[in-house]
Amino acid sequence: MSLNLITETWQGYGDKLLSRHFERLAVVYVRQSTPQQVLNHQESTRLPYGLVRRAMEWGWSEARVLVMDDDLGQSGATAEGRQGFQRLVAEVGLDHVGLVLGVDMSRLARSSKDWHQLREMGALFGTVIADLDGIYAPSPSNERVLLGVKGTRREAE
């Protein structure tokens, strides 16, 4: 999938981004499950880095976009040992993050427990979560349910 497709897919979702989101960081989270995937699927590794450009197109300065790629080659089955994910949850909990971007929510967490922790922190601190399917504000009930279903589906995969 190319970055052009990402841009086309996300057009029209910008109405969920409020001025308070731009006062905080946009975090691009990058993860692949195994070292072999990192080596053998390089396009899948490069694609999320292109999300920096997407955040900048939405209005974040390059200095306010943080790439967290500490978990390359790490399974998403649990947050244990995934320093990048743990750092992401901590930064959201410190109210430093306005937007979390990922190509696919399964890159964030395959464990419902970990996924729901991030979702709950996002709802509490008003952090928006975005993947190729759209932008989600975790606090409205319908989007909260949708994010819950997405997390459950990813865990089942």
Known catalytic residues are 33
Query: H-type helices in the chain, by residue range?
Result: 3-10, 19-22, 35-40, 42-49, 51-58, 83-93, 112-125, 141-156
Report DSSP state, residue 30.
E
**CB-CB contact of 31 with 84 (8 Å):** yes
